[in-house]
Amino acid sequence: MKTKDRILMTSIELFNRHGIVAVTTNHIAKALDMSPGNLYFHFSNKEEIVRALFKIMCQETYDLWRAQKRDNLLHPLDLIEKNFEIYWRYRFFHREMYYLRRKDAQLAKLWKAHIRKVLRLMTLVYRQWIDKDWMRPMESVKEMNFMANVLLATASTFLQFFESAERQPVRSHVALGRVYVARLLIHWTRGSMHGEFEKFITRSEKGSADA
């Protein structure tokens, strides 16, 4: 693995464990057993590392949504699960994005562009779900935009919402997040897809209660 990639992977681990604010470039260099000077050869500062990781997270998200082809669509529940895996992998962003955007104007600009792009991709895929008779059409473009915003806001802020000062987000929060998104989306499902959503929600909630 290239040094630059090692820096990024180690940064993800440290940011997830301790939070971006608490981690410095010296902490990252120490974890990699390298000198700060060697790290600065690849990244000028921590903000550069954060922006690089954000772009990687965005690309993984776009690749997932763009892979949805009309004749080879992921099941909506599978797409929800894969999205939450990305949220979990880069959970430090979802815990600290508000602070990061205020601190870094470049990151704020990237974030706004990312949200616009994801909303467009969500709308395109939803229309494909309609064609597959998995979902019912929205009554208007306004309703479509509203639902896309609600779904994205719920999914991307879920881990932050469930985090407290004493506890880091845990994997069970990811499972719960999938259920919440499914509960929001089930009202637009149709036919056998509605039954599959009901089974998923019931099974997940029973598993959570038994845990």
Confidence of residue 54 (pLDDT cuts 50, 70, 90): very high
User: Do 26 and 68 fall within a single domain?
Assistant: no
User: Do 28 and 119 fall within a single domain?
Assistant: no
User: Do 35 and 58 fall within a single domain?
Assistant: no
Mean pLDDT for the chain overall: 89
Confidence of residue 160 (pLDDT cuts 50, 70, 90): confident
Confidence of residue 43 (pLDDT cuts 50, 70, 90): very high
Global pTM?
0.89
For residue range 166-205, list pLDDT tens digits in order. Answer: 456 677 778 888 999 999 999 999 999 999 999 999 998 8
User: Do 115 and 82 fall within a single domain?
Assistant: yes
How many domains is the chain built from?
A: 2
Confidence of residue 111 (pLDDT cuts 50, 70, 90): very high
User: Do 37 and 89 fall within a single domain?
Assistant: no
User: Do 68 and 137 fall within a single domain?
Assistant: yes
User: Do 83 and 163 fall within a single domain?
Assistant: yes
User: Do 56 and 20 fall within a single domain?
Assistant: no
Confidence of residue 90 (pLDDT cuts 50, 70, 90): very high
> The domain that contains 190 carries what CATH number?
1.10.357.10
pLDDT at residue number 165: 40
Of the chain, the end-to-end C-alpha distance in Å amounts to 39
All residues at 6 or more sequence positions from 108 whose CB lies less than 8 Å from its CB, including other chains: 101, 102
Q: 35 or 163: which carries more pLDDT confidence?
A: 35
User: Do 14 and 69 fall within a single domain?
Assistant: no
Q: How many H-runs (helices) and E-runs (strands) does the chain carry?
A: 10, 0
User: Do 37 and 60 fall within a single domain?
Assistant: no
User: Do 165 and 106 fall within a single domain?
Assistant: yes
pLDDT reading at 15 higher than 90: yes
User: Do 142 and 198 fall within a single domain?
Assistant: yes
Q: Which domain, by its residues, includes 5?
A: 1-44
Confidence of residue 209 (pLDDT cuts 50, 70, 90): low
* Helix ranges restricted to H, 90-185: 91-103, 105-131, 141-162, 171-185
Q: 209 or 195: which carries more pLDDT confidence?
A: 195
The whole-angstrom distance between residue 185's C-alpha and the CA centroid of its chain comes to 17
Paired strand residues for 135: 189
pLDDT at residue number 166: 43
